[in-house]
Amino acid sequence: MQILYDVIVVGAGHAGCEAAHAAARMGQRTLLLTIDLDKLAHMSCNPSIGGPAKGHLVREIDALGGLIARVTDRTAIQLRVLNESKGPAVQSLRAQCDKRLYAQVMKETLERVPKLDIRQAMVERIVPLRDRSGGEGLGLPAEAAFAVVTHTGWIYGAKALVLTTGTFLRGRAITGQAAWGAGRAGEAPAVALGEDLAALGFPLVRLKTGTPPRVHAGSIDFRHTEAQHGSPTPVYFGHYYPELEDPPAPAYSGAPAAVYPQPTLTGWRPQLPCYLVHTTPTFHDLIRANLDRAPLFSGVIEGVGPRYCPSIEDKIVRFADKERHGLFLEPEGWHTYEVYVQGCNTSLPEDVQWAMLRSIPALRQAELMRIGYAIEYDAVATGEVGADLQARRLPGLFLAGQINGTTGYEEAAAQGLMAGINAARYVAGAPAVILRRDQAYIGVLIDDLVTKEIREPYRMFTSRAEHRLLLRGDNADLRLTPLAGELGLVDAARAAAVERRREAAMALRAALEGRKLYPSVTLNAALTEVGVERLSQPMSAADLLARPAVRYAQVREVLELPDAPGHVVELVEVECKYGGYIARQQREVERLRKMESRRIPPDLDYDDLPGLRNEARQVFKRFRPATLGQAARLAGINPADVAIVLFALERREVARSTDARA
Amino acid sequence: MFTSGTVTINDAHLPPARSAGCLPPVGEAGRAVETSEHPAHDSQLAVYEDTIAAIATPPGEGGIGIVRLSGADARAIVIRIFRPLRPGPLRPFRLRYGHVVDPATGAVIDEVLVAFMRAPHSFTREDVVEISCHGGPQPLQTTLGLALAAGARLARPGEFTLRAFLNGRIDLSQAEATLDVIRARTAAGLALAQAQLGGWLAREVRSVRAALLECLAYVTVVVDFPEDEVEPQDLGPSLRAGLATVERLLAGADQGIIYRQGARVAIVGRPNVGKSSLLNALLRADRAIVTPIPGTTRDTLEETASLEGIPVTLVDTAGIHESADPVEQLGIERARAALESADLALLVLDAAQPLTPGDEQIARLTLEKPTILVWNKSDARSEEAGAPEAPLPHPRLLGSVATSARTGAGIEALARAVAAALLGGVPPAAAEARLVSNPRHRDALRRADEHLRAALAGWEAAHPTDLIGGDLTAALNALGEITGETVGDDLLDVIFSRFCIGK
């Protein structure tokens, strides 16, 4: 049996699964350790994936050969398109998944990955073997840089380690007056590991998040709900090229739990709706009357919670004028009766949770299956990991997910993927892969993590991506799959399919520009026929398509344009309609490129830079920017500070080239 | 575009240029936004590839001042605002003589020499164009303003040096030596900015930003939380109000810059029309400060007076050394010299005498300057003589005033006419009015104005919400250059305090 691994991933949530998969795909012997093999990539909060910005992350992870999109496509019991009319950069997908099935499909997927071992064990300690001979006493080969000790006392050796602790690090769950140590509801926290990290000198911060109660579908009166249905047309998170593979079929089968009204059983895939209800005046009164028992307000909770994911008691206190709040009842699976009450995060005492839910007409008889709770956990303070997600104070250790201060499955998966890639590259002695802000939402996410003070759990928003018109869901593969091909994360056939898509789009675009239209009576009549406003002056077919309402499919026959697959048409339509805006962002990116591409060596001694303001010195030492662009983005840094760093870099380069000549 | 964003290992690790295959933009939307392109990250260290411009000579009233442009578009930008005497291209390392002309109005701003230094044989190793103006803050500022309007960006302190260094033109020790200067200026600029932060402009700009931030928060919430119930809002009124404020500030900006930097006015006319007594009368009209400055040439006398609040340098060509030479006596050369650097000419004529060929000769010199006719000695003009006639048709005549330097009649009217002419015909601001007086602020306001117009047009045309957000962000960042704020966490603060969102 294997004792020494190239990469060991501790924790198999959304970050850990992607990390382990990527490292193994890149050829490294990888071990994934988890507390519970049946809860791989467990959705411990809502049963949904995607939404604005998060959906973009999912697309990008897929373009880089990751798993989250494909597992979602197989287990989604509902898929919806959001923001359809709000701009090409913010259109996105959201899926409701079968929670249990998701973990199962993830497990089946990982079980089949060569070079990857997945194993159930609770990691108690991680021991850096700074002095390599130290491993020999533990029975480990000299190449081991870390010893990983499990709860049974078993010891593995690793050349690189990826730590994805989620909410387990000294996790503490709270409902009302009750507080208990927990990683997730019902699971033990990782206390020793947290102490280990603290002992290694990592500064830790306390964050908080929460989850709502779950109710039994049989106790819901669905007559008082409003159904919200999935997309009537096929949509997927993953990239499936017609010549390579068909989109996957749903992993669930048979009829859904009969308790859910209005399922869509015909159509492109069987789907279940979600059900909208609203809070009531009694609901609000109950919360107000019990605020003294709310741990959030009584001081029991110390951790900082996310403002965009407030608890229901928080919403009612802060927005006292608002008469009602919408709550979505989301089935947690195709067959299960368990229903997630979205919008109702709470840590109020159990009796209040029962009473307030029962004040809602659809939930008069509601039976709670699980109660809502808040959870506090440790994360590592900003400045501890670099843009490659490697711990500065412990080379070879990579951190991903909530331990870095983020929240969300998608944010975790994105970091896991990059940590896995960079751990594999670290073992191989290759330089790290760092995505820039203009290349991917993943780049924005990680750049924010290393340049901004994280004061609350970090969630991705479209508004955080200043170059978002370039970072669309429809071009994620064009942007990132070539990189995945080079890294070995996708096979050559898929990389080639992406190039074919690109070429087809360029050809179609050229054809549309070359096709000149003249406002003849015949043409205008034909256009009117298909609902397109007449031409008043000559223009190209590309110009016509730039009109907001005109779609390719609408005018293709009339204008005798070539037939093209949907995934090519979608690219060209966006380019035609928003080409000017896109080109503007492209130019901004070009302008910033010099700064972004100028790397700052990690060993630059800021104490050695004459003339640097003391305040700037402190900021640089804390964040250790990887590029001049990052340096300029840090709060409290002005252009002259960056100029000093730049001059120092130049001086090094001059010195180096002089050395080389000598 | 289909290839421009592609990432490779090298690219992701140490990204080189990779823009091959970028298709040009098409479509109506494309062309519509082409014109409103502006840097979004203006506040960062500028190592960009755009074209920068600045006044390269120290402030003051030297004989000549230089506006310098550096960057790929330097030549193209100058061609837009420069009318050479003889047509033909701007060739490297040849001085060209001509005029800086406002392309919008056709107005001649100044008589200039233009030198084009082609990359890499220039200070920055980029294309550099230097426009030598005839000194005085007014033509320099106007020329710089035209260059900015024609596509250049205002250079940051030390940016020419930085480019020179980055492009390998100067070595490290030279660059480090200039760094002290950069830092000193930045510190000074910062102190100045902070002094203004507490001031009226920061308050005005902050209130516009606050209102626009609310708009952006709404747009962002709608996009980022599509499933939350958010009350629909009409952003039109807020956008229009913000735009109105920005335009009001902008309208005052040109005036403000004149109020701060002042102007030069040449008093010309044949001998004995009363130029010196007119100068003295104007100085008396200034009840504020009178600062006698020794003449910068031995043939002219300069005095500074505050006319309607504008610091005006009056250049009296009567001179202090009268010559025996009859041609010299007419003062043609002195008048020509004084007019070169002046923003405005006062052509003084004797109302009590018929016009002479000497009047006409002097008048001819003023044809290219904004000019006010001053009929001096009007108290001595007989009633039956009727209204006086101008010596010749003048294309840039801004009015005529009858004065008597002896009695003081008409002097206040003249002071008002001078002020009005310098303010470009806009009525002078009330004494308590506050005006933007910093060209950098004006530049930021102009960009904010453009983006706000685009945002408002987009909102009214029901463009996709996210694209309106892009223009709003750009407008907020431009305004933030004045107050030193960027759109960042303050947006999230507004969102979370105004909207009840989140699962």
Res B465 pLDDT > 70: yes
- Residue B459 falls inside a structural domain: yes
Least confident of A400-409, A582-591, B289-298, B308-317: B289-298
**What is the share, in percent, of chain A residues with pLDDT greater than 70?**
97
In a shared domain, residues A335 and A309: yes
Model confidence band, residue A212 (pLDDT cutoffs 50, 70, 90): very high
Q: Test B503 with A342 for CB contact under 8 angstroms.
A: yes
ipTM for the complex shown: 0.81
Mean pLDDT confidence for B19-46: 30
Mean pLDDT confidence for B172-189: 53
Domain count, chain A: 4
Nearest CA distance, B51 vs chain A (angstrom): 11
Residue with tokens 């909410």: A167
Least confident of A438-442, B192-196, B325-329: B192-196
Contacts of B226 in chain A (CB under 8 A): 51-52, 82-83, 86
Q: pLDDT tens, A365-394?
A: 999 999 999 999 999 998 899 999 999 999
A204 Cβ contact list (under 8 Å, min separation 6): A169, A194, A197, A198, A378, A379, A380, A381
Least confident of A268-272, A403-407, B41-45, B465-469: B41-45
In a shared domain, residues A396 and A530: no
pLDDT of residue A383: 86
β A4-10/A155-163 pair status: parallel
Task: Give the B window 313-352 contacts with A, CB below 8 Å.
Answer: none
Res B30 pLDDT > 60: no
Mean pLDDT confidence for B258-270: 81
Nearest CA distance, A577 vs chain B (angstrom): 6
Backbone angles phi, psi at A206, to 5 degrees: -105, 120
Identity of the residue in B8, B23, B44 whose CB atom sits nearest the CB atom of A486: B8
DSSP H or E stretch at residue A378: strand A373-380
pLDDT of residue A616: 85
User: Domain residues for A524?
Assistant: 495-594
In a shared domain, residues A582 and A630: no
In a shared domain, residues B287 and B418: yes
Of A337, A356, A371, the position where a domain reaches its end is: A371
In a shared domain, residues B178 and B233: no
CB pairs under 8 A between A and B: 260
Q: Tell me which of A26 and B477 has the higher pLDDT.
A: A26
Identity of the residue in B14, B33, B179 whose CB atom sits nearest the CB atom of A580: B33
Cis omega (within 30 of 0) on the bond before B139?
A: no
B207 Cβ contact list (under 8 Å, min separation 6): B245
Model confidence band, residue B175 (pLDDT cutoffs 50, 70, 90): low
Q: Where is mean pLDDT largest: A504-513, B11-20, B216-225, B307-316?
A: A504-513
Q: What angle do CA B362, B364, B369 make, to 5 degrees?
A: 100
pLDDT of residue B13: 43
Identity of the residue in A431, A463, A575 whose CB atom sits nearest the CB atom of B491: A463
Q: Tell me which of B158 and B344 has the higher pLDDT.
A: B344
Contacts of B474 in chain A (CB under 8 A): none
- Nearest of A76, A57, A74 to residue A18 by alpha carbon: A57
Res A655 pLDDT > 80: no
Mean pLDDT confidence for B339-347: 87
In a shared domain, residues A436 and A503: no
Model confidence band, residue B180 (pLDDT cutoffs 50, 70, 90): low
Identity of the residue in A462, A506, A593 whose CB atom sits nearest the CB atom of B17: A593
In a shared domain, residues B179 and B211: no
- Residue B266 falls inside a structural domain: yes
Mean pLDDT confidence for B460-473: 89
Backbone angles phi, psi at B296, to 5 degrees: -85, -20
In a shared domain, residues B69 and B95: yes
Res B40 pLDDT > 50: no
B310 Cβ contact list (under 8 Å, min separation 6): B258, B259, B262, B263, B419, B422, B423
In a shared domain, residues A350 and A226: yes
In a shared domain, residues A292 and A320: yes
Give the side-chain half-sphere CA count within 13 A for A114: 4
pLDDT of residue B433: 56
Res B72 pLDDT > 80: yes
pLDDT of residue B31: 27
A34 Cβ contact list (under 8 Å, min separation 6): A11, A12, A16, A40, A118, A119, A120, A121
Q: What is the mean pLDDT of chain A?
A: 91
Contacts of A309 in chain B (CB under 8 A): 502-503
Q: Is B172 on the interface with A (CB under 8 A)?
A: yes
Give the residue on B whose Cα is nearest the Cα of A343. B503
Of B165, B195, B225, the position where a domain reaches its end is: B195
pLDDT of residue B47: 44
Res A513 pLDDT > 80: yes
User: Domain residues for B413?
Assistant: 262-422
In a shared domain, residues B6 and B101: no
In a shared domain, residues A327 and A275: yes
Nearest CA distance, A202 vs chain B (angstrom): 26
pLDDT of residue B24: 30
Q: Test A638 with B39 for CB contact under 8 angstroms.
A: no
CATH number at residue A583: 1.10.10.1800
- Residue B186 falls inside a structural domain: yes
Strand runs labelled E in A247-295: 274-278
- Nearest of B75, B157, B170 to residue B116 by alpha carbon: B75
Mutation for A interface: B18, B43, B47, most A CBs within 10 A: B47
Mean pLDDT confidence for B142-152: 87
Whether the CB-CB separation of B300 and B315 falls below 8 Å is answered with: yes
Res B471 pLDDT > 50: yes
Residue with tokens 């991506």: A465
In a shared domain, residues A572 and A551: yes
Q: Is B178 on the interface with A (CB under 8 A)?
A: no
How far is Cα A363 from Cα A382, in angstroms, rounded to an integer? 43
B203 Cβ contact list (under 8 Å, min separation 6): none
- Residue B428 falls inside a structural domain: no
To 10 degrees, what angle do helices B27-34 and A566-597 make? 20
- Nearest of A147, A149, A148, A184 to residue A165 by alpha carbon: A184
The pTM for the full model equals 0.76
pLDDT of residue A662: 52
- Residue B86 falls inside a structural domain: yes
- Residue B407 falls inside a structural domain: yes
Q: Is B156 on the interface with A (CB under 8 A)?
A: yes
Mean pLDDT confidence for A245-250: 95
Q: Is B189 on the interface with A (CB under 8 A)?
A: no
Q: What is the mean pLDDT of chain B?
A: 75
Mean pLDDT confidence for A261-270: 95
pLDDT of residue A584: 82
Q: Is B28 on the interface with A (CB under 8 A)?
A: yes
Model confidence band, residue A196 (pLDDT cutoffs 50, 70, 90): confident
In a shared domain, residues A113 and A203: yes
- Residue B488 falls inside a structural domain: yes
CATH number at residue A21: 3.50.50.60
Res B39 pLDDT > 70: no
How far is Cα A206 from Cα A199, in angstroms, rounded to an integer? 16
Identity of the residue in A345, A439, A594 whose CB atom sits nearest the CB atom of B7: A439
In a shared domain, residues A290 and A174: no
Q: What angle do CA A220, A223, A227 make, to 5 degrees?
A: 90
Task: Give the B window 198-237 contacts with A, CB below 8 Å.
Answer: 220, 222-229
- Residue A614 falls inside a structural domain: yes
Give the residue on B whose Cα is nearest the Cα of A320. B500
In a shared domain, residues A226 and A357: yes
Mean pLDDT confidence for B88-111: 86
Identity of the residue in A483, A506, A542 whose CB atom sits nearest the CB atom of B26: A542
| CB neighbour class for B478 (10 Å; exposed up to 12, middle 13-18, buried from 19) | buried
Q: Test B26 with A513 for CB contact under 8 angstroms.
A: yes
Contacts of B480 in chain A (CB under 8 A): none
Model confidence band, residue B177 (pLDDT cutoffs 50, 70, 90): low
pLDDT of residue B14: 33
Q: Is B427 on the interface with A (CB under 8 A)?
A: no
Of B401, B422, B443, the position where a domain reaches its end is: B422
Res A12 pLDDT > 90: yes
Give the side-chain half-sphere CA count within 13 A for A106: 32
Q: Test B29 with A88 for CB contact under 8 angstroms.
A: no
- Residue B430 falls inside a structural domain: no
Q: Tell me which of A633 and B384 has the higher pLDDT.
A: A633
pLDDT of residue B190: 45
Model confidence band, residue B324 (pLDDT cutoffs 50, 70, 90): low
CATH number at residue A354: 2.40.30.260
Q: Where is mean pLDDT largest: A174-188, A371-385, B353-367, B371-385?
A: A371-385
Domain count, chain B: 4
Model confidence band, residue A398 (pLDDT cutoffs 50, 70, 90): very high
β A48-50/A178-181 pair status: unpaired
Give the side-chain half-sphere CA count within 13 A for A551: 6
CA-based torsion, B177, B182, B183, B187: positive or negative: positive
pLDDT of residue A138: 78
Q: pLDDT tens, A129-178?
A: 876 555 667 788 888 999 999 999 999 999 999 999 998 888 999 998 88
Whether the CB-CB separation of B400 and B418 falls below 8 Å is answered with: no
In a shared domain, residues B382 and B288: yes
pLDDT of residue A632: 82
- Residue A88 falls inside a structural domain: no
Identity of the residue in A90, A475, A545 whose CB atom sits nearest the CB atom of B5: A475
In a shared domain, residues B55 and B156: yes
Of A311, A343, A371, the position where a domain reaches its end is: A371
Task: Give the B window 460-479 contacts with A, CB below 8 Å.
Answer: 463-467, 469-470, 473
Mean pLDDT confidence for A58-77: 98
Of A435, A459, A483, the position where a domain reaches its end is: A459
In a shared domain, residues A436 and A399: yes
Contacts of A509 in chain B (CB under 8 A): 2, 23, 26
Q: Where is mean pLDDT largest: A315-324, A325-334, B39-48?
A: A325-334
CA-based torsion, A373, A377, A381, A384: positive or negative: negative
Q: Is B89 on the interface with A (CB under 8 A)?
A: no
Model confidence band, residue A509 (pLDDT cutoffs 50, 70, 90): very high
In a shared domain, residues B205 and B189: no
3-class state of residue B67 by DSSP: strand
Largest CA distance in chain B: 93
Q: Tell me which of A646 and B503 has the higher pLDDT.
A: A646
Give the residue on B whose Cα is nearest the Cα of A610. B176
Model confidence band, residue A439 (pLDDT cutoffs 50, 70, 90): very high
Question: How many Cβ atoms from other residues are within 10 Å of residue A662's Cβ?
Answer: 5
In a shared domain, residues B356 and B487: no
pLDDT of residue B288: 38
pLDDT of residue A661: 58
Mean pLDDT confidence for A189-201: 86
pLDDT of residue B385: 67
Q: Test B226 with A310 for CB contact under 8 angstroms.
A: no
Mutation for A interface: B216, B466, B477, most A CBs within 10 A: B466
Q: Test B21 with A506 for CB contact under 8 angstroms.
A: yes
Give the residue on B whose Cα is nearest the Cα of A324. B229
Least confident of A100-104, A164-168, A310-314, B157-161: B157-161
In a shared domain, residues B3 and B96: no
Res A487 pLDDT > 60: yes
Mutation for B interface: A417, A584, A627, A637, most B CBs within 10 A: A584
DSSP state of A482: H
In a shared domain, residues B25 and B168: no
Identity of the residue in A307, A431, A591 whose CB atom sits nearest the CB atom of B49: A591
Nearest CA distance, A428 vs chain B (angstrom): 14
In a shared domain, residues B267 and B379: yes
Give the residue on B whose Cα is nearest the Cα of A546. B27
Q: pLDDT tens, A453-481?
A: 888 899 999 988 988 999 999 999 999 99
Contacts of B501 in chain A (CB under 8 A): 308
- Residue A74 falls inside a structural domain: no
